[in-house]
Amino acid sequence: MRNNNIKSRVLVVDDNPKNIQILANHLRDDNYEVEYASSGKNAVTMVEKEEFDLILLDVMMPGIDGFETCKRIKNIESKKHIPIIFVTAKTDVDSLALGFDYGGVDYITKPYKADELLLRVSTHIELKKARDLLNYHKTYLEKREAHFIEQINLKNSELKKQARDFEYIIGAQSEIIKLFSEVYNSSLNKISTPVNILKLQNLDEKSTDLVNSIETLLRSNSKTAEFLINNQNLFTKKEKVLKIVSFSPERIVAEFIGEQASLLRTRNISIKTEFDSNIQVNGDKNLMNQVIKGLIINALKNSINDSEITIKITNLKEGSSLTISDQGVGFPKEYILYPYKPVYNDQTKDYGLGLFMAKYISDLHNFEIKIGNNPDRGAFVRIAFPG
């Protein structure tokens, strides 16, 4: 016996009330909810209005017979999934085949056994529930897919608009850089000559300090202007300017040590190297040459005399890394709070654009760059190269 809390609904269709009563008693004893129709026409009307889990349909009925009734029910789009079992005295092959052709899922021959009837009813109801659950999840997934596609299309539209806006901004930025260059060079020519003339004059201390401040400001702005102009293509064209090749970070470091040998001796600064062998990185060699040497220069500039700079090139599980560590004063607080943001430095008289560019170029390559201060003293910069 079945003990389900939610009863399955079965429609019994037969023109003989006695047959209906017998079927209904068996089904109710097995915890089914039973409805009945005494004709095919009434059965179709009931199916249109109500929900059933299965239909037991007599074949031989006056008016429209069981086969025609089955056909009409299957033509109702929302109800065609209801399993129909024919109850028939006909056992000839042609009659059985006709029942399946019209959409029946099974048949029971009269006289039938109650256990066989209930087993077939239970089997087809469970199959229907499984199909209904599958269709529910299918419909749910289709709706979710449609929702995600809609969201993706919206995002794509937004990205296309942002790309158009970005192209406009980049174009405007390029024009601004050109205009800045023209205006600045014109202003520099007009100001530098009077400044040089003033320097030749016998000025008092206050005036001399003022002229020196103007000259320092001109040099600083000149460096900034030169930086922007030299890197104009990098800012406006971005990854389009990258020329990816395989290069050796170790060789770039070795070149730098050779180029700066005199300065290193003068300040008695040693460079300690720890290199894993045969490390190659894919990237724009010229730009990364600028980045690596620029970072070492930054470490050298901020190191005290008689100290050491350590450069490590290490194999990682996925890729490799380059770490430059010095024993200087460390990064100022504003650098740690806002990494790579250009901040004017009164001591060096510049905006720290070298570190900003290191971050910018690393991002173009999808390299990860990290800065920080060492626990004892000094600072470090680390670039992670993916494999």
Residues 258 and 376 in one domain: yes
Confidence at residue 1, expressed as pLDDT on a 0 to 100 scale: 45
Where b means 16+ CB within 10 Å and e means fewer, 262-273 reads eebeeeebebee
Residues 302 and 329 in one domain: yes
How are strands ordered across the β-sheet holding 84-88? 33-37, 9-13, 54-58, 84-88, 106-109
Residues 246 and 301 in one domain: yes
Residues 290 and 314 in one domain: yes
Q: In this structure, what token pair is assigned to residue 249?
A: 């970070």
Instruction: Give me the CATH number covering residue 47.
Output: 3.40.50.2300
Question: What is the rounded CA–CA span in Å between residue 243 and residue 364?
Answer: 12
For residue range 288-311, what is the model confidence (pLDDT) as tens digits? Answer: 998 898 899 889 888 889 999 999
Report the domain count for the chain. 3
186: amino acid identity, one letter: S
**What's the whole-model pTM score?**
0.45
Confidence at residue 95, expressed as pLDDT on a 0 to 100 scale: 72
pLDDT bin (cut points 50, 70, 90) of residue 274 is: very high
Residues 108 and 193 in one domain: no
What range does the domain containing 269 cover? 242-385
Confidence at residue 346, expressed as pLDDT on a 0 to 100 scale: 56
Instruction: Give me the CATH number covering residue 286.
Output: 3.30.565.10
Residues 369 and 268 in one domain: yes
Residues 219 and 257 in one domain: no
**Model confidence at 239: pLDDT above 70:** no
Tell me, yes or no, whether 304 lies in a domain: yes
Angle between helix axes 114-199 and 205-230 (nearest 10 degrees) is: 140
**Model confidence at 212: pLDDT above 90:** no
Residues 310 and 196 in one domain: no
For residue range 319-333, what is the model confidence (pLDDT) as tens digits? Answer: 999 999 999 888 877
For residue range 130-161, what is the model confidence (pLDDT) as tens digits? Answer: 988 888 888 888 888 888 888 888 888 887 77
Tell me, yes or no, whether 22 lies in a domain: yes
- Using the 3D structure, point to which of 112, 132, 147 is the last residue of a domain: 112
Who has greater pLDDT, 376 or 190? 376
Residues 231 and 314 in one domain: no
